[in-house]
């Protein structure tokens, strides 16, 4: 996945890539999207005790 051409992408010094999920995973909630809304939702659900995957 490529970063869009933004100031953040141009100045980011530590671009870690993550391997794709292998096999099965279980969670209470799967959040699709890691923007501000998705991450905030995931954080609040995790704080409420749910197992969340982003």
Tell whether 1 is covered by a domain.
no
- Four-point Cα dihedral 31, 34, 36, 42, nearest 10: 30
Tell whether 37 is covered by a domain.
yes
Question: Count of domains in the chain?
Answer: 1
Residue 45, C-beta contacts closer than 8 angstroms, at least 6 positions apart: 28, 29, 31, 52
Tell whether 15 is covered by a domain.
no
Tell whether 10 is covered by a domain.
no
Domain limits for position 50? 27-54
Tell whether 2 is covered by a domain.
no
Tell whether 19 is covered by a domain.
no
Give the pLDDT confidence score for residue 33 in this predicted structure: 87
- Span 4-10, mean pLDDT? 81
Give the pLDDT confidence score for residue 2 in this predicted structure: 67
pTM: 0.61
Task: Read off the pLDDT of residues 15-54 as tens digits, 9 standing for 90 and up.
Answer: 778 788 789 989 999 999 888 999 999 999 999 999 999 9
């Amino acid at each position: 996945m490529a970063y869009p051409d933004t100031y953040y992408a141009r100045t980011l010094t530590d671009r870690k890539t993550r391997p794709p999920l292998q096999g099965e995973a279980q969670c209470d909630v799967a959040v699709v999207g890691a923007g501000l809304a998705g991450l905030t939702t995931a954080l609040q659900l995790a704080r409420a005790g749910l197992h969340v995957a982003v």
